[in-house]
Structure 1
């Protein structure tokens, strides 16, 4: 399975890097492909290094303005002209999307994929790894949007929050396996 990971390119302390490493290691050990922003910087590099060490194939989707930070050990590295093309490629290549901690770029990526999913333009699972309560505020806001009628489909159909990397990976795998089972049932 291709798992697109959105996360920070900033260097972060161990309370954020340790759960990201655990997730990336499990991703590789379970035979999945890491699709990510293609950078060696910060948490992106930590995730790529750990996934690769655990046997994952790495597909990096970089952008021209950040080409100087491209990860040299990727199995495939694509460089897009701009951030919009990068986000489109990250989504297109994903079977599932997992969001680790990040800043404005990560927030932009996750809100875009949720908006597209809300409109039925994809139905790929989106899982937020809520390390150390990092996404508590986002969860509160999304619940309010759901409760007050701003979302056309239930919140739990749009996104799931996971307390740790193993759970995030399990949610992604179950959602993809479940949709494959649904497709077989629908065609039978």
Structure 2
């Protein structure tokens, strides 16, 4: 299965890198392919290293202005013109999406994917790995949107919040077969 992971390219504390490394190891041992931004920095590097070390494949999708940060020696590397094309390529090449900790770029990616899913433009499972409660605020906001009628689909049809790496991958593997 090709699993797209949206995450930070920043160097982060062990409380974030440890669960990301655990998820990467599970992904690689499961024979899955990591589909990600292709960067060889920060948390992106941690996850790519973990997947590769555990026997998984790497499919990077970078953008021209970030190509100098791209990881060398990937199984597959795609370089796009801009961020919009990059997001489209990431989604097209993925069977499921997992969101790890990240900043504004990660938030942009996940909200665009959920908007597309809301409109039936894709049916791929989306999981947010809520490491250390990082996405508690986002989860609360989505729940409020759901409760107050801002979502045309139940929140549970749009996204699953996992508390650990095992739960995130288990959901993806189970839901991935239902598409």
Q: Which bracket does the TM-score occupy, shorter chain normalised?
A: over 0.9
Q: Distance in 1 between matches of 2:2 and 2:22?
A: 17
Q: Deviations over 1:76-131 (max 9, x none)?
A: 11100000000000000110000000000000000000000000000000000000
Q: Aligned runs of 1:128-143 on 2, under 5 Å? A: 128-143=128-143
**How many Å apart are 1:74 and its aligned residue?**
1.2
Q: Distance in 1 between matches of 2:2 and 2:49?
A: 17
Partner of 1:41: 41
Alignment of 1:167 onto 2:167: yes
Partner of 2:121: 121
**How many Å apart are 1:41 and its aligned residue?**
0.7
Partner of 1:92: 92
Q: Which runs of 5+ in 2 are unaligned?
A: none
Q: Deviations over 1:27-68 (max 9, x none)?
A: 000000000000001000000010000011100000001000
Q: Distance in 1 between matches of 2:173 and 2:8?
A: 23
**How many Å apart are 1:73 and its aligned residue?**
2.7
Of structures 1 and 2, the larger Rg is shown by 1
Q: Deviations over 1:7-40 (max 9, x none)?
A: 0000001000000000000000000000000000
Q: Distance in 2 between matches of 1:39 and 1:170?
A: 26
Provide the aligned C-alpha RMSD in A.
0.5
Partner of 1:184: none
Count of matched residue pairs: 179
Partner of 2:55: 55
Q: Which runs of 5+ in 1 are unaligned?
A: 180-188
Structure 2-normalised TM-score? Answer: 0.99
